[in-house]
């Protein structure tokens, strides 16, 4: 599998949103809600990027999520 240069999605992945959060929640178990599923995916993706030494990609993903969170607040 080839990592995505933006540190986030791989080719063919869906953007994070309600449909992906719902499908993640279903795959991770009934006790996990959509937000917890997205958080779990993010933590796993960041850990994977950092383990590969892709620190710039991990930083870019963190900044994308910060922008997303700030947009939700504003």
Task: Evaluate whether residue 16 is within a structural domain.
Answer: no
Residue span of the structural domain in which 61 resides: 32-73
Specify whether the CB–CB gap between 24 and 39 falls below 8 A: no
Query: What local confidence, expressed as pLDDT, does residue 22 receive?
Result: 54
Contacts of 59 (CB under 8 A, 6+ apart): 7
Task: Evaluate whether residue 61 is within a structural domain.
Answer: yes
Query: What local confidence, expressed as pLDDT, does residue 8 receive?
Result: 61
Specify whether the CB–CB gap between 38 and 16 falls below 8 A: yes
Task: Evaluate whether residue 55 is within a structural domain.
Answer: yes
Query: What local confidence, expressed as pLDDT, does residue 35 receive?
Result: 80
Question: How many whole angstroms separate alpha carbon 64 and alpha carbon 54?
Answer: 16
Count of structural domains within the chain = 1
The answer to whether the predicted template modeling score (pTM) of the entire model surpasses 0.75 is no
Task: Evaluate whether residue 56 is within a structural domain.
Answer: yes
pLDDT-flagged residues of the chain (< 70): 1-32
Query: What local confidence, expressed as pLDDT, does residue 15 receive?
Result: 58
Q: Tell me which long-range contacts 52-56 makes (C-beta under 8 A, separation of at least 24).
A: 52/3, 54/3, 54/7, 56/7
């Amino acid at each position: 599998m080839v990592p995505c240069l933006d540190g986030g999605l791989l080719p063919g992945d869906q953007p994070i949103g309600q449909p992906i959060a719902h499908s993640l929640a279903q795959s991770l178990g009934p006790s996990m809600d959509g937000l917890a599923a997205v958080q779990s995916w993010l933590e796993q993706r960041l850990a994977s990027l950092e383990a590969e030494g892709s620190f710039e990609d991990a930083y870019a993903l963190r900044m994308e999520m910060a922008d997303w969170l700030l947009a939700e607040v504003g």
